[in-house]
Amino acid sequence: MLHRVAVVGAGAAGLCAARHILSRPDRFAPPVLFELSGRVGGTWCYEERVGTDERGLPVHSSMYRDLRTNLPKEVMKFPDFPFEEDLSSFLPHEEVLRYLQSYCERYQFNTVVEKVNPVVMTTEDGEEKTVWEVTSSDMSGHCRTETFDSVFVCSGHYSDPHIPVIPGIEHFKGTVLHSHSYRFAEPFSGRSVVVLGARASGLDISMELAKVCLSHARPRFTFPLPPGLRQCSALEAVQEDGSVRFQDGEVGVADVLMFCTGYNFTFPFLDCGRLGLQVDDHVVAPLYRFLLPPAFPSLFFIGLCKIILPFPHFDCQVRFALAVLDGSVTLPSRAQMEDEVRRQQQEKMERGVERRHLLVLDQDQWEYCQSLARTADFPPLDPVIRDLYQEVWRQRRIHPENYRRINYRLETVVYNKLNKMKALI
Ligand code: FAD
């Protein structure tokens, strides 16, 4: 019998899962892809509205109007599906959405997954097997429950803002918002904004705001800042008179506090305790190969890792998951998988990695993808992708305002690398 898969979410990860499942009609029935919104693309569906939608659901996307990708299309693409050749390397978000729309062919919309529950059933051969009851509701609130052999959780993790505790925040007299609700710079024109957090969004939004207002960010940047943008130490507290106090003792007045402090993991449709999973703000564990709970190896979480090259990473995880499901990869026992996760976590923490960063892969992502490819026997990522990704990060650190002006050509990177190697010989 064909294996039935439910895919939760039609962002890049869910589309990737659906595409690979559809390419295996010998083993898998066409997947059922649930998407709470009316469109494919997830994060890449720009929505000017913030807060909640007409159904009272939180607006999912954190995309802002003038965003251009921070990775060039040459490395950002799914390995088996290039962007159009005549596009520049760094794309406006509309182009990524167009790309994702052409990447997929079938989808099912306006359906929210409310519950995903494991149920043990007995097969015709008398064996016990876990299947998944997926309960969803449509626009009219009509609920239905269907049964699947496995579920791919592709619901994204950039929608539930993480706001750290700042003592005295209730005294702040201006506007407080999270980057999830930031769309464009104009409303901040002439205002003094304190941006907290200096990762991708913090850096990007600071650059946008610097054009229209005075902006402070937590220190991290080692490059000259554009006029109007100034680095401060971490925000320590808001004082009773509404002024902000920084860790180095500096006190200032601001009109806006903008939290670019990341997002929480949330899976409202899962009973994580029952699945043996611990989910807190930044960690989901234990997940064997950052992908599946050892106790339930037919539930797959696609794309939970951080500081990765998202689309190629999703592609590797989906291919590995399908190899598990079609039997070409045999998983170790539950105890062995749990042991491996524990060992890896311990190793990381001994290296000084904080618990909340356990899902950060960064440089480990290449070996991770490579090892999924080796185990499941699919083509590994081209090493040139890694070289170009690293070059872009280097450029981003030195020229945060201008790095997107470069147009990359993979052939050029290969050529330069070859030349460097020749020079070494
Ligand atoms: P999402 O895109 O979030 O998709 C999840 C989908 O699941 C959504 O459509 C949502 O509606 C649906 N969903 C959620 N819950 C349910 C439910 N219960 N029932 C049904 N449907 C549900 N990556 C890059 O590669 N390059 C970039 O330049 C880049 N820039 C970024 C800029 C910003 C501001 C942000 C926030 C992210 C950026 N990323 C970038 C990372 C980006 O998140 C990933 O590239 C990718 O789009 C994530 O895809 P996803 O499918 O995991 O999640």
For residues 233, 238, 244 and 247, what is the CA-based torsion angle, rounded to 10 degrees?
-20
Closest-lying ligand 1 atom to the alpha carbon of residue 201:
34
Q: What is the pLDDT of residue 217?
A: 58
User: Does residue 421 register a pLDDT over 50?
Assistant: no
User: Does residue 422 register a pLDDT over 60?
Assistant: no
Q: What is the mean pLDDT of the chain?
A: 90
For 86-132, write each residue's pLDDT tens digit: 999 999 999 999 999 888 864 555 678 999 999 999 988 899 999 99
Of all protein residues, whose CA lies closest to atom 45 belonging to ligand 1? 310
Residue 9 Cβ inside 6 Å of ligand 1? The answer reads yes
Q: What is the pLDDT of residue 105?
A: 62
User: Does residue 230 register a pLDDT over 80?
Assistant: yes
Q: What is the pLDDT of residue 231?
A: 85
Residue 91 Cβ inside 6 Å of ligand 1? The answer reads no
What mean pLDDT is predicted for residues 3-24? 95
pLDDT band with cut points at 50, 70 and 90 for residue 424 = very low
Cα separation of 384 and 247, whole Å? Answer: 42
From the list 32, 178, 3, 77, the residue with the least C-alpha distance to 381 is 77
CB 30 within 8 A of CB 107: no
Cα separation of 113 and 9, whole Å? Answer: 9
User: Does residue 44 register a pLDDT over 60?
Assistant: yes
pTM for the model? 0.92
Query: What distances in angstroms separate CA 148 from CA 115, 299, 318, one per listed residue?
Result: 13, 10, 17
Distance of CA 389 from the midpoint of ligand 1 (Å): 20
Q: What is the pLDDT of residue 319?
A: 98
Residue 262 Cβ inside 6 Å of ligand 1? The answer reads no
Q: What is the pLDDT of residue 56?
A: 87
Q: What is the pLDDT of residue 423?
A: 47
Q: What is the pLDDT of residue 221?
A: 67
User: Does residue 252 register a pLDDT over 70?
Assistant: yes
Query: What distances in angstroms separate CA 197 from CA 230, 257, 261, 325, 352, one per listed residue?
Result: 13, 11, 5, 40, 21
Residue 314: exposure state from Cβ atoms within 10 A (0-12, 13-18, ≥19): buried
Longest CA pairwise span in the chain (Å): 72
Q: What is the pLDDT of residue 219?
A: 54
For 271-322, write each residue's pLDDT tens digit: 999 999 999 868 999 999 999 999 999 999 999 999 999 999 999 999 999 9
For 357-406, write each residue's pLDDT tens digit: 999 999 999 999 999 999 999 999 999 999 999 989 888 888 888 888 88
Cα angle 378, 78, 269 (rounded to 5 degrees) comes to: 90
What mean pLDDT is predicted for residues 225-246? 89
Residue 76 Cβ inside 6 Å of ligand 1? The answer reads yes
Cα separation of 180 and 194, whole Å? Answer: 16
Q: What is the pLDDT of residue 332?
A: 98
What mean pLDDT is predicted for residues 160-167? 94
Q: What is the pLDDT of residue 168?
A: 97
For 206-227, write each residue's pLDDT tens digit: 889 887 655 565 656 667 777 8
For 73-88, write each residue's pLDDT tens digit: 999 999 999 999 999 9
| DSSP SS3 for 151 | strand
pLDDT band with cut points at 50, 70 and 90 for residue 408 = confident
pLDDT band with cut points at 50, 70 and 90 for residue 183 = very high
Closest-lying ligand 1 atom to the alpha carbon of residue 158:
36
Cα separation of 239 and 251, whole Å? Answer: 9
Closest-lying ligand 1 atom to the alpha carbon of residue 13:
51
Distance of CA 290 from the midpoint of ligand 1 (Å): 18
The pLDDT > 70 percentage for the chain reads 92
